[in-house]
Amino acid sequence: MTFCKLVIRNVGKHLRDYSIYFLTLMLSVSLFYAFNSISGQPAFTGMSMTRAMLYDQLSTILSALSLLLAAVLAFLIIYANQFLLKRRKKELGIYMLLGMKKGRISRIFAGETFCVGLAALAAGLGLGLVISQGLSLVAMKLFAVELNQFQPVFSPAAFRQTVLCFALIFFIVMACNVWSVSSVRLIDLLTASRKNENMKKTHPVFPLLFLLLSLALIAAAAVLIRRNGILPSRDSSFFQAAALALAAGTFLFFYALSAVFIRTVRTDSAFCLKGLNTFLVRQIGSKIRTNYFILAIVCGLLTVTICTVSIGASTVFAMNELAQAAAPYDLNVLSDVETDGDSSIAEYLSGQGVEIADYASRMEQISLYDADITYGELFEGQKLSLWPIDEPVPETQVWVISITDFNRALAMQGKEEVQLEEGQYLINCNYKGTWDYIQAALDSHPALTVGGVTLERASDTPLRETCFMTSVGNNDRGTLIVPDHVVSNLEKDLNILLVQYRPEANPDEILAKMIPIGLDEAHGYRYAEKNMMYDAFYGSNALVSFICCYIGLVFLLICAALLALKQLTETADNIYRYELLRKLGASKRQVSRAVFLQTALFFALPLAVAGLYSTVLVDESMKVVEEFMNMHISANVTVTILLFLAVYGSYFLATWLACKRIAEEQGVYGRY
C-alpha cells in the first residue's frame, strides 16, 4: 500500500477520533479570519472622523490580539495532537511490530495531521467567509453605518494572515509528532491503553498542607487585588505578587485536590461501598491528578473569558443607556463668562459666519452660577473616595441654576416643569461618581444658605435631569436649583445655548462651521453636538464589543476543546475497565452514570473555580473601566451565561454523547 493511500485510509478510519479536533480547528480558523477581515469592508470608508478613528484603532488592536491568540491556538493544537497520538499508540506499535521503521510511522502520522489540518483550514476559511459577512453587518450596526452600504467582500490580507499563521502552527505540530513517535519505545506503544496513572504515595499530611497553602495563596492574591486593584504599577509590585500568588495557588490547588478528595471520601465507608462509588472516586481522583496542569490552564482561560465578556457586555449596555440620556439636544454651545463676557452666544456665532437661527427649530440660552460654597463644604462629614478625574471636585464651587432656566431646559426636551416654592431648593445630579455623596449631602442639609438666602430642602431625592451636554457624557456632579431672585446675588460662570435642529438641517454642515469656533483658544466657546457624541458612543461600543467577544469566543473555544479532547481520549482508553465492570455485574445505567459524572465534573471543576475568581476580578475590572471611561457600569452576566450555554454547554453535551457512543460501539452497553 502506498504512503498516500495509507494516510488517507487512516484518516477515514479514525474520522470520529478527529471529529472534535477538526471542529475546533475549523472554528478557530473561521473566527481568526472573520475578525481580521473587518477592515476590508468598503462601507466603513465613509464614516465620520470620530468613528473612523475608533475603527482604525479596532483594526490595530485586533491585529495585535491575533498574534497573542495565535500562540494560544498553537498550544491548543499541539496539546490536542498529543492526545490523538496517545489514542493511536497501540496502532502505531503494531506498525512497528510488523517491521515498519519509526521514520515511516512518523511520516504517516504527520501526513494524517497535514490532511486533517488542510481540510480544517479549507473548511474554516469557507465558514469564516460566511461569518465575516454577518460580522460586518454587526460592525456596521455598532458603528452606526447605513446597512444599505454593505457589500459582500473577500479580504486577501486576512486570508494571507490566516493561512500563514496556521501553516506555521501545523508545521510545528508535525515536527512535534515526528519527534514524539521517534522517541517512544515499542512496549510503550503497545501497552499505552492499559497504563494507569502512577499515583505516588506520599504522607497523608502533605496533600492537606499543599491544599491549605494553595488556599492561603489564593486568599492573599484576592486581598492584594482588592487593596491595590488589577493594574500594574511602576511604583509597587503588588500586582505582580498577586498574579504569581494566584497562579501558584491555582496549580497547587488542583495538584493537591486529588489526594485530599480521595482520602476524604474514603472516610465514609457507606458511601464508598454503594454501587460504583469506589470505582468512580478512584477514576475522578486519578483524572484530577493526571490533568492538574491542564485544569489550571483551563481555569485561567475561563477566568479571562468570564471577565472580558461580562465587562464588554456591561460596558455596551451602560454606554447605550448613557448615549440616550446624555444627548437630549442636537447642539449646545458653552461660553465662559469670565473670558467672553455675559453676551448672546447666538449673536457671536452669527458674527463668525454661523447663522445658527437658520438651522434651529428652537433655541434657549441658560446660565450657570457659582455658589458661595464648595463641594467639599457640601460633602462635609463624608468619607470621600472619588475617581481620579474628580479629585479637584471638593475645592470647586457648587454650580447653581435658576428654576426658570432649569424649566426652559426641560421644555426643550419635551418634559414637564419642576415646581419650586420660594425659600426652597432642589439638587440635580446625573453623574454616578458623585451621586451617593449628593444624596448624603441632601440628607444632612435640610437647609442651605446660598447667596445670603437661607433655603429649605424641597425634596429628599436629587433630580437626574440633563441641563446641557458635554463631550464626556453625563457629568453634572451636583447643581443647586434655586428661585430666580437668589442667582442675582451670585457670580455667573457659564452661558449655554441649547439648540434643536430643524428636520431639514444638515448636521455635518453645522459641524464643519463649528470646528473653528471650538479650536479658537482666544475665546471660551466650546460645543457638544449630538451626532458627534453618538459617533463616539457607538464607536466605543463597537471597540469594546469586538475585542471582548473576540477574546472571549477564542478562549472559551480553546477551553471547551481541550476538555473535550482529553475526556474523549480517556473514555476510549478506559473502555476495557467499563467492560470489566459489566462482567462483574454492573448495570447499564450504573456504567452510563459513571461516564456522565466523570465528564460533568471534568467540565464543571475548572468552571466553578474560574467563577469564584471572576467574582473578585470582574468587580475590580469594572472599577478600572469606570475610572477610564468616567462612567458607572453595572455588572451584566446575561451575555456571559448565554455564551457559555452556547459554546461550553454544547461542547459538554457533544463530549458526553461522544463518550457514550464510544462505549456503545465497544460493546459496553450493546452486549447485555
Most confident of 182-196, 421-435, 550-564, 579-593: 421-435
pLDDT at 156: 85
Residues whose CB falls within 8 Å of the CB of residue 307, separated by 6 or more in sequence, listed in order: 614, 617, 618, 621
Q: Which ranges of 37-97 would DSSP assign to H, the alpha helix?
A: 49-87, 89-97
User: Is residue 565 a contact partner of residue 80, using CB atoms and an 8 Å limit?
Assistant: yes
pLDDT at 574: 73
Average confidence (pLDDT) over 120-135: 86
Average confidence (pLDDT) over 317-334: 77
Per-residue pLDDT band at 361 (split at 50, 70, 90): very high
pLDDT at 671 over 50: no
pLDDT at 536: 66
Q: Which segments within 559-628 are labelled E, that is strand?
A: none
Instruction: Give percent above pLDDT 90 in the chain.
Output: 23
What letter represents residue 118's amino acid?
A: L
pLDDT at 479: 96
pTM: 0.66
Average confidence (pLDDT) over 514-538: 80
- CA angle in degrees (0–180, nearest 5) for 397-399-405: 160
Instruction: Give percent above pLDDT 70 in the chain.
Output: 76
pLDDT at 653: 86
What letter represents residue 353's amino acid?
A: G
Flag the least confident range among 135-139, 182-186, 287-291, 378-382. 182-186
Which pLDDT tens digit goes with each residue over 261-270? 777 777 777 7
pLDDT at 166 over 50: yes
pLDDT at 516 over 50: yes
The grid coordinates listed for 244 are 504569581
Average confidence (pLDDT) over 161-176: 80
Location of C-alpha cell 500568588:
245
If one counts every other C-beta atom within 10 angstroms of the C-beta of residue 480, the result is: 22
pLDDT at 141: 63
pLDDT at 374: 94
Flag the least confident range among 200-204, 290-294, 342-346, 355-359. 200-204
User: Is residue 323 a contact partner of residue 538, using CB atoms and an 8 Å limit?
Assistant: yes
Handedness of CA 587, 593, 595, 598 (dihedral sign): negative
- Between 445 and 176, the more confident residue is 445
